[in-house]
Amino acid sequence: MKPKKILIFLLAGLMSLLPLSACGGTGEPASGDSDGGSASLPPQSSEEPAEEEPQMHEWNSEPVVKRTFFDDFEEGIRPEVWDVATGSWDKVSNGLVPENVFYSTYQPRVEAAGGTGGIAVIQSNGDFAYESSRRRQGGLLITKTAYGAGLYEARVKVVPRSGQCTALWTYWTNNASTLANNRCSEIDIELPNAGSFREWGGTIYSRYIDKGNKVSASEVYETAPLNDGQWHTMSFEWRTKEETGDKAVVYYVDGKEVGMIEGDAVPVHTATYWITSRFPDSVGWLGDPQYETAYMYVDWVRITEYDDPVEKGETDDTTTTGPTGTDLGTGAIPETNYISNSQFVQAFTVENMKGAEITSWAAVNAEKKGSSAVISPNGSLSQTVTSQYEGFSFNLEVLAEVTGGGKCKVYAEFLTGDVNTTNPNFEVAGRAEIMEFSAADGKVMKDADFTVGGGKDVQSVRIVLETEDGTTATISQVRMFLN
């Protein structure tokens, strides 16, 4: 897909209507965790990639660079630089585990994916993950070095499914139990917002005990969809130089300023930098994680620390060992298959982590038989993929065999309707015929591209397989990938 022009503006005050993360929410480590970084600057793995000159905020006083950290994962995920950590603070989840972190340094794979050096991969498992013990489970990277004020940048492809939270943030807290003594340092980038990748939230905290006792501020920014499969540089610039009027956090997407937050919520303590896909239990905020597995990719991270005044918060972790994630070697970098239960291994209806029944395949005159689905005459199977937008291009693969004199038709419906509810109400705004099967084809795999249409209000896609009168279709596999 060709890169899209990003158009961004501020939606003031909207975030106050939605659940927000916080110190102790977004970033709170499991009890007893203390994640810091190396006292000396980790070695750079390679030269920094050439990027378009960013359009930086004009401060009253120009920042003075203290040091710069850069890692493009050319040497993998180095244990002296990164903590591939475990987290368990999202209560309705299976936490964050090192088993969901991977990396590739094999240049043909990295270059084919549009990366530089290497690529770190975070796996995100939704409610349709085959193993129930791994549902609502992600991965986590934390720098072992703590940094102060500066420019924090990461070139990423976000997890493209709603119901999880793709987050990049700084974090530290002293865990004091009174607001007067509490100190916190957290700056967040989080998406989606209201289940939509056309919005993301920026939130900052300088104190946090609970939702009723905190010093925080937040804004919601609107953008072209950031789950478009393209690389995006998500950044914030943190200043603490109050005497020159430069105490604020400025947010950027792809080098362009999108908004600024000022005030007492601007933190002043050193913190580590965290990257994750996690599962706060908030359908209104994130949507419902009704997917099987999806992936986040990190091409590089750069932290340009400034000589602005800061207090010591998080301390550096000088350990040089620990989990590093899984080396993919020369193997493929995993891609997100947007179809859940694509080989019909699970029952069509399963329970999510909250004990509610959820359905991967809506069936009419159709049933699961072994590791296939059988659609009887005048029957259908359908699956809805939320938070997908006009202009997105997909490749759909279907392995099928038809008996009888008619056809099995495969098409996509383009749906409007909010996705941040438990049972969304959709309306069909458009349709694309994709492929069809007949008995003359035998058992065959077909694939075809289609582009989401239906207008700017479309937020979801429904894939439908439908048989005609006198026709039975045996479906062995359905897969869908973003082009």
pLDDT tens per residue across span 429-450: 999 999 999 999 999 999 999 9
Report which of residues 3 and 309 the model is more confident about.
309
Predicted TM-score (pTM) of the model is 0.90
pLDDT at 7: 34
* Distance, CA of 311 to CA of 299 (rounded, Å): 31
Length of the chain: 483
Residue in 326, 343, 345, 294 with CA at minimum distance from that of residue 476: 343
Pairing of strands 393-404, 471-482: antiparallel
Q: What are the distances in angstroms from CA 134 to CA 92, 94, 274, 283, 334?
A: 12, 6, 21, 19, 17
Check whether the bond before 377 is cis (ω within 30° of 0).
no
The two tokens of residue 434 are: 């994709």
pLDDT at 50: 52
Average pLDDT over residues 377-390: 98
pLDDT exceeds cutoff 90 at 40:
no
Burial category of 476 from C-beta neighbours within 10 Å (exposed 0-12, middle 13-18, buried 19 and up): middle
Per mean pLDDT, which range of 47-61, 134-148, 325-339, 444-458 is the poorest?
47-61
pLDDT exceeds cutoff 50 at 11:
no
pLDDT at 269: 98
* Distance, CA of 136 to CA of 122 (rounded, Å): 13
Percent of the chain with pLDDT over 70: 89
pLDDT at 60: 97
Per DSSP (E only), the strands in 307-392 are 326-327, 349-351, 357-359, 362-369, 372-386
Same fold across 9-327 and 349-482 = yes
Is the Cβ–Cβ distance between 143 and 246 less than 8 Å? no
Per DSSP (E only), the strands in 113-198 are 119-125, 140-143, 150-157, 165-173, 184-191
pLDDT at 18: 36
- Fold that domain 9-327 belongs to in CATH: Jelly Rolls (2.60.120)
Return the H-helix or E-strand segment holding 250: strand 246-253
pLDDT tens per residue across span 163-211: 999 999 999 999 999 999 999 999 999 999 999 999 999 999 999 999 9
Average pLDDT over residues 279-305: 97
pLDDT at 54: 72
* Distance, CA of 394 to CA of 437 (rounded, Å): 19
pLDDT band for position 55 (cuts 50, 70, 90)? confident
pLDDT exceeds cutoff 80 at 268:
yes
pLDDT at 3: 36
pLDDT exceeds cutoff 80 at 17:
no
Report which of residues 36 and 202 the model is more confident about.
202
pLDDT at 426: 97
Average pLDDT over residues 118-146: 97
Residue in 240, 326, 322, 327 with CA at minimum distance from that of residue 38: 322
Average pLDDT over residues 353-380: 97
pLDDT tens per residue across span 408-419: 999 999 999 999
pLDDT at 39: 33
Which residues have a Cβ under 8 Å from the Cβ of 275 and sit 6 or more positions away?
Answer: 120, 122, 140, 141, 142, 154, 156, 167, 168, 296, 298, 301
- Into which CATH architecture does domain 349-482 fall? Sandwich (2.60)
Going from N- to C-terminal start, the domains of the chain cover 9-327, 349-482
Is the Cβ–Cβ distance between 156 and 168 less than 8 Å? yes
pLDDT band for position 159 (cuts 50, 70, 90)? very high
